[in-house]
């Protein structure tokens, strides 16, 4: 039902999990997608082959490098000459207890903020003049439940970085919507992905399922379908909104 033909979308962190699901759904709806990846070259190539090389362009960048967002944006724009939608999906989720060593905690906070919040801020900074020149654009940023309710002690930094991204996305909506730069937040819950495997190692899936009223884990496509809807422009008046895709496990 969603037709994205003619739209060019940059998806960060598109080689695995939710990102891979987003790329597949968007290309299936007709979009041309720039798939950003860091270390998952083999996975990214497999997705591009599945979606069709003509519809999926691969760009590698390590977003923990302060200069990577600029290089990524430049390469993304060159492919089709423009970007219509930016999906800030790339993220790291590192384990570091709050009562651990100074260096362990400092490294976790620094890398989490760099990848999960600062890199998206730079991409948005680069997208602004581009969107203005083209009459507008759409920004979709992936938040998390801990951004609103606090994370577990081993992952305080992850919730903090996602809260920063959420504040950024909402600020863009408040102060740039009048320029047709439309910003949205998507809040995934427990989605079957590599990050869920990390949760399982720490706490077990039984605990995750107990707090999901719907009684089941989400799939990447559940999130991707919402992203496709927002990317279509059909949700224009919902600008600034946060859409929960969490099986009723995060009601704000």
The CA distances from residue 134 to 2, 37, 61, 82, 166, in Å, are 22, 26, 25, 8, 25
pLDDT of residue 200: 64
Cβ atoms < 10 Å from Cβ of 187: 22
Distance between CA atoms of residues 207 and 216, nearest Å:
12
Who's near 34: CB < 8 A, 6+ residues apart? Answer: 8, 9, 10, 11, 57, 58, 59, 75, 76, 79, 83
Point out the residues of the chain with pLDDT beneath 50: none
pLDDT of residue 214: 82
Distance between CA atoms of residues 22 and 24, nearest Å:
5
Tens of pLDDT along 29-72?
Answer: 999 999 999 999 999 999 999 999 999 999 999 999 999 999 99
pLDDT of residue 203: 62
pLDDT of residue 198: 66
Distance between CA atoms of residues 218 and 188, nearest Å:
8
The CA distances from residue 16 to 52, 89, 211, in Å, are 17, 11, 25
């Amino acid at each position: 039902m969603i037709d994205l033909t003619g739209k060019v979308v940059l998806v960060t962190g598109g080689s695995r999990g939710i990102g891979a699901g987003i790329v597949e759904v968007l290309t299936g709806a007709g979009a041309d997608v720039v798939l950003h990846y860091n270390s998952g070259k083999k996975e990214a190539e497999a997705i591009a082959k599945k979606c069709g090389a003509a519809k999926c362009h691969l760009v590698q960048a390590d977003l923990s490098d302060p200069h990577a967002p600029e290089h990524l944006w430049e390469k993304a724009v060159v492919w089709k000459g423009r970007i219509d939608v930016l999906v800030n999906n790339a993220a790291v989720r590192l384990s570091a207890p709050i009562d651990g060593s100074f260096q362990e905690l400092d490294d976790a906070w620094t890398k989490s903020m760099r990848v999960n919040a600062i890199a998206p801020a730079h991409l948005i900074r680069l997208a602004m003049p581009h969107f203005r020149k083209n009459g507008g654009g759409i920004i979709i940023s992936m938040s998390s439940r801990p951004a609103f309710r606090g994370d577990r002690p081993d992952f305080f930094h992850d919730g903090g970085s996602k809260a920063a991204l959420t504040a950024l996305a909402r600020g863009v909506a408040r102060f740039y919507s009048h320029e047709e730069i439309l910003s949205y937040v998507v809040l995934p819950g427990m989605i079957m992905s590599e990050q869920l495997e990390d949760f399982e190692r720490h706490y077990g899936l039984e605990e995750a399922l107990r707090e999901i009223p719907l009684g089941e884990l989400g799939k990447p496509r559940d999130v991707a379908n919402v992203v496709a809807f927002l990317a279509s422009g059909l949700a224009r008046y919902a600008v600034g909104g946060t859409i929960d895709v969490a099986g009723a496990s995060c009601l704000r």
